Amino acid sequence: MNEPAEDSDEHCIFCKIIRGEIPCSKIFENDRVLAFLDIGPAARGHALVVVKAHAATLPDVPETSGNALLSALQKVGRAVMEECGATGFNCVQNNFPSAGQVVPHVHWHVIPRFDKDELFSIPAGQYSSTKEMQLLAAAVEKRII
């Protein structure tokens, strides 16, 4: 059995997959990212793109993984879409349990989509006024470091 890497969690299911302790249906890998088919797919071809360095949520991901991650999402999205005959795809990423994150290791769902598949949609809301939106934008901007 492989020893846990310095940047992995010995109990994390995705770290175990990355270390080869649990098998997966791998579709892409580079030095920073692993992509494999989801065992509980929302649609045929639903894939997970996982950052290899253990990071519980997006704010924890090393900035050095950004380019590799974006490149992997582009490649996996395009390939899954083409192979499944999809007309689009979603990249979905959840942070913290209240947002639907089940596995505390940052990952993206790449889900092939088809016209009128009714898989899911995000309803549009609205602010009470432009002023409310501007005040919120200013407050959030001050917190960005």
Tokens of 14: 């995705």
Is position 107 annotated as part of the catalytic site? yes
CB proximity list for 17: less than 8 A, separation 6 or greater: 23, 24, 34, 36, 50
- Indicate left, alpha or beta for 26 from its phi (over 0: left) and psi (-120 to 50: alpha): beta
Burial 33-50 (b: 16+ CB within 10 A, else e): bbbbbbeeebbebbbbbb
User: In this structure, are residues 82 and 72 in contact, taking their beta carbons and an 8 Å threshold?
Assistant: no
Secondary structure element (H or E) that encloses residue 67, with its range: helix 66-84
Identified catalytic residue from 11, 54, 107, 109: 107
Active site residue ranges: 107
